[in-house]
Structure 1
Amino acid sequence: SGLSVDDTGVAQVALFAFEVALFRLWVSWGVRVDCVGGHSVGEVVAAFVAGVLSLEDACRLVVARGRLMQGLALGGVMVAVEASEEEVLPLLGGGVSLAAVNGPSSVVLSGVEGVVDEVVGVFVGRGRRSKRLVVSHAFHSVLMEPMLEEFRGVVEGLVFREPVLGLVVGGDVCDPGFWVSHVREPVRFLETVRLMEGRGVSGFVEVGPDAVLSVMGPACVVGGVDEVVFVPSVVRGRDEVRGVVGALGGLWVRGFDVDWGAVFEGLGVTGGAGSGGAGGGVVDLPTYPFERRRYWLEPGGSGDVGVSGQVGAGHPLL
C-alpha cells in the first residue's frame, strides 16, 4: 500500500486508536478516571473519552488532521531545549515558534531549520542541553498555517458536546476554532499537569506507546514527587503485558482501586484460592501471626574472673 507508520497521516490515526483502546482497558479494570488531559493529538483522545466528540467525529478530526499535515511540504525541525518559556519568548518569530512547554525548564522549538538552530545555539552557548526530534514536519509552528483553512472546513462540520468527564485542555473544546488553532499553537503540558494537580489528582496514568509524559511529569508538579505518581502503561522495548500489569500494581500499592477480578479475567488467568475457578485469588498476608516477642542474643558483659577463683587466660583475644 506504500503506507508507513512513520507517515504522520498514519501515525496520528494509530496513536488515537492505541490510546483510546488503552484508556478503555484501564477503565475495564476498575480504575476510576476523574480527569483526562493530553499532549498534542493526545488532547483529541482526551476530548473523545470525555464525551466531547462521538467516535465517528473524533476519527474524522484525526484523519483530516493527519492527512492535511502529511500533505504539507516536508522540512522544518523541532528541537527540545533546556529553557523556560519566559527565556525563549523574546527570541521567537521570523520562522521559529514555541511548539511545547513540557516543564519549568523544558520547551520545544519548531519551524524553519536555520532560524531554529540559531535560537537553539543561544542556549547551547549558555551550557543548556538540546535535542533535535525525529519528525517529518515542524508541528505546532508557523509552517502548519497552509492547512488551517481546509482543516477548519472539516472541524466546523463536527458536533461538539460538553464533557461528561473532567477534561483539562487549554481552551473551549466546544469551539471549532480551538481545534484549528490547536494545530498551530503550543502544547502546554506543564499547565495541564498543574491544573490537574490543583484539582486533587495524585495519580497520572500515561496511555501512550512509550514512557514520555510520565518522565516529564514529575518536574511539572508543585507538590513533592512523593505525593504524586506518574505511571506509564507501556515502555518501548519491554513486554507490554508485564508492563501494564506492573503499572496496575504500582497504582494498587499507592492506594488506588483496581478490580483484580476483571484484570485476571481479561488476562485469561484461572484458578486461585477463593476464585471459584476463574480469575485470581486474594491471599491474606502474613500467613501466620506474629508473636511480638524478642529473642535477640544479648552481648555478654566483662568482669574480673579472679573474684570467682578462676585464672585469666592472658591472651589478648580472649
Structure 2
Amino acid sequence: TQAALFATEVALYRLVEHYGLTPDYLMGHSVGELAAAHIAGVLDLDDACTLVAARGRLMQTAPAGGAMIAIEATETEIRDTLPTHHGHLDIAAVNTPHSTVITGDHHAAHQLATTWRNNGRRTKQLNVSHAFHSPHMDTILDDFHTTAATLTYHTPTIPIISNLTGQPATTEQLTNPHYWTQHLRHTVRFNDGIHHLHHHNVTTYIELGP
C-alpha cells in the first residue's frame, strides 16, 4: 500500500506538472510527505523508492492487533483522555479542528472510542493493517533510521509543510534521517499545516491521491 500510494501521488503530480502546474507549497499526509520530498527534489526517485519500500516493509513487521479510530473531538479533548491509556494509545493525526485519529492497542482504542460515542460524538474505525504512528512502531525505528541514513538528500526546490510541525520544513530537517524516522512515529499535524497555509494567503488546493 505504501508503495502504491507513493507511485500514484507522484504520477498524478507529473501529470498536472505536464499541464503547467507550479505549486507554491507541497504538503503530504503521512507517506504523502515522502512523495512531496521526491517532487521537491529532496530525494531522487531511486532513494525515495528505497525509503518508501523500507517504510512499508518494516511497518508490516510491527506488532499486529492494533487499531486506528477517527473521533469527532479536538486534539486537546483527546489528549486529556490519553493518560488513562499511557503507553497503549497515541494520536496518529489531527486532520481538522474536530477530527482526531487515535492509534494503538485494539482494546484501548475501542474502549476510548466507546466513551466518546456514549457522549454523542461520531467515531469511525479506519481500515488499516497496523496501528500506524503509535507505540507499535517503536520496534522498527532503528532499522528504518539505518536505511534512511544510507540515502542522499538535497535542498528542496519547493517549500514543504511538515507533518511533524505543521510549519514549513527546514532543509536541515528534510535532509536529516532522524526527521524521517520521527515522521514515521509521531502525530501527523495536517490541520496545523492547513492552518499555516491559510494564514499565508493560500486559497487554492489540489489533492493528488487515490
TM-score by length of 2: 0.91
Cα offset for 1:121? Answer: 2.1
Hey, what's the Cα distance between the residues in 1 that align with 2:205 and 2:115? 34
Q: Is this contact kept in 1: 2:67–2:128, CA < 8 A?
A: yes
Is 2:46 the partner of 1:21? no
CA deviation map 1:264-317 (0-9, x unaligned): xxxxxxxxxxxxxxxxxxxxxxxxxxxxxxxxxxxxxxxxxxxxxxxxxxxxxx
CA deviation map 1:32-62 (0-9, x unaligned): 2111001010011111111111111111100
Partner of 2:206: helix, strand, or coil?
Answer: strand
Is 2:54 the partner of 1:68? no
- Give 1:38's match in structure 2, choosing from 28, 39, 42: 28
Q: Is this contact kept in 2: 1:13–1:66, CA < 8 A?
A: yes
Cα offset for 1:74? Answer: 2.1
- Give 2:87's match in structure 1, choosing from 84, 94, 100: 94
Gaps of 5+ in 1: 1-10, 210-318
Hey, what's the Cα distance between the residues in 2 that align with 1:22 and 1:13? 14
Hey, what's the Cα distance between the residues in 1 that align with 2:61 and 2:136? 12
Cα offset for 1:194? Answer: 1.4
Gaps of 5+ in 2: none
2:192 counterpart letter in structure 1:
E
2:104 counterpart letter in structure 1:
G
Tell me how many residue pairs correspond in the alignment.
Answer: 199
Specify which structure has the bigger relative contact order, considering alpha-carbon pairs within 8 angstroms and separated by 6 or more residues. 2
1:206 counterpart letter in structure 2:
E
Equivalence for 2:180: 179
Cα offset for 1:166? Answer: 1.9
Equivalence for 1:105: 98
Q: Is this contact kept in 2: 1:94–1:115, CA < 8 A?
A: no
Cα offset for 1:122? Answer: 2.2
Equivalence for 1:116: 109
Alignment of 1:196-235 (within 5 A): 196-209=197-210
Q: Is this contact kept in 2: 1:110–1:139, CA < 8 A?
A: yes
Q: Is this contact kept in 2: 1:23–1:207, CA < 8 A?
A: yes
Equivalence for 2:130: 137
**Could you say if the C-alpha distance between residues 43 and 27 of structure 1 is closer, same or farther in structure 2, counting changes exceeding 3 Å?**
same
Structure with a larger share of its residues in helix: 2
Rg (Cα) greater in structure: 1
CA deviation map 1:62-101 (0-9, x unaligned): 0000000112232100000000000011222230110000
Equivalence for 1:162: 155
The CA RMSD measured in Å over matched residues stands at: 1.1
Cα offset for 1:26? Answer: 0.5
Is 2:52 the partner of 1:59? no
Hey, what's the Cα distance between the residues in 1 that align with 2:155 and 2:195? 22
Hey, what's the Cα distance between the residues in 1 that align with 2:42 and 2:102? 30
Q: Is this contact kept in 1: 2:95–2:189, CA < 8 A?
A: yes
Sequence identity percentage: 42
Equivalence for 1:244: none
Equivalence for 2:120: 127
Hey, what's the Cα distance between the residues in 1 that align with 2:132 and 2:151? 23
TM-score by length of 1: 0.61
Cα offset for 1:157? Answer: 1.1
CA deviation map 1:7-54 (0-9, x unaligned): xxxx11011111101001011111221110010100111111111111
Hey, what's the Cα distance between the residues in 2 that align with 1:198 and 1:164? 22
Hey, what's the Cα distance between the residues in 2 that align with 1:59 and 1:108? 27
Partner of 1:119: helix, strand, or coil?
Answer: helix
